[in-house]
Amino acid sequence: MTLEQFIAETGIVLTSEWVDRNPHMEDSDRMDNYKVKLRGKLLGNATMRLYYSKGVGLNGIEPTADEVLDCLASDASGIENAGSFEDWCGECGCDTDSRKAEKIFKECEKQAERLRRFLGPDYYATLLWNIERL
């Protein structure tokens, strides 16, 4: 299944608004930052809100549902594959003594749990393991 097919099946719609910074990222003042809302029609009208940042040089191109879901799936699969913070650091090339890395890890854990609640366990597993990624 492609990401586009997954979005069509779940009825996920994205809305976004530009914000000046992402409170979960250092140096976000040099990026395009958005408050994003995902809503799934087939998911009991469930919603998920998050901050999403795009790199320098994209000049205000608003995020799309497929790119946000791809990013969320990437982060969540990294958390699911890691048995611990130390394993995650090994996969990501982070220092296990870094407070910054620990903060990122914990935020990714929270976000993965929120994504699981938003999608439900079956769609969550499908997104992480059975979708052709971007």
pLDDT, tens digit (0-9, with 9 covering 90-100), for 1-10: 999 999 999 9
How confident is residue 29, by pLDDT bands cut at 50, 70 and 90? confident
Pairing of strands 12-19, 46-54: unpaired
For a pLDDT cut of 90, what percent of the chain falls above it?
83
68 lies in a domain? yes
Q: Residue 18: beta bridge partners?
A: 34
98 lies in a domain? yes
113 lies in a domain? yes
Domains contained in the chain, number: 1
99 lies in a domain? yes
134 lies in a domain? no
For a pLDDT cut of 70, what percent of the chain falls above it?
100
**Helix 65-81 crosses helix 85-92 at what angle (to 10 degrees)?**
120
Q: How far apart are CA 56 and CA 28, in angstroms?
A: 9
User: DSSP labels for 41-95?
Assistant: GGGTTEEEEEEEEE-TTSTTPPP-HHHHHHHHHHHHHHHHH-SSHHHHHHHHT--
pLDDT at position 26, please?
A: 83
| Host domain of residue 92 | 3-129
